[in-house]
Structure 1
Amino acid sequence: MNLNRLLNIVINTVVRRLVNFGINKGVGYASRKGGAKTADHGQARDARALAKRARKAARITRRLGR
């Protein structure tokens, strides 16, 4: 591989992570701005935990697929 291709790989990875981080923060901000009731906080926490487990499972399956 040449240097240009390596730089593109690194830059694309960094940009992808930053964009995903920004999207997650924006969606989280928008969902909090709706003013969840106190009873919904527990459900929201459970939903975030479930999403985290789903991301981990997707990451593992991608690793196994290699």
Structure 2
Amino acid sequence: MKSGIAGEILQKFSNYRVRLAIAGEFSQYKGKGMEDFILESNKTGHISFVNSISEALIKFSPMDKN
């Protein structure tokens, strides 16, 4: 997080309008920076941090408008 590499990589996905879901359990990361990073990423609609692959599939299904 501190080096900014993760943000740069995710920015590339956003710039090229490629939707990306990152599935996992993120509640174990308690840092304010990580929490803010996840919340901000989820706002864009291009990058989504989700709890499971099934949630990612639902999020990016053609029926979903987000």
- Bigger share in strand: 2
Higher helix share: 1
Q: What TM-score, normalized to structure 2?
A: 0.28
- Tell me: higher relative CO, structure 1 or 2? Use CA pairs within 8 A at least 6 residues apart: 2
The structure with the larger Rg is 1
Query: How high is the TM-score relative to the length of structure 1?
Result: 0.28
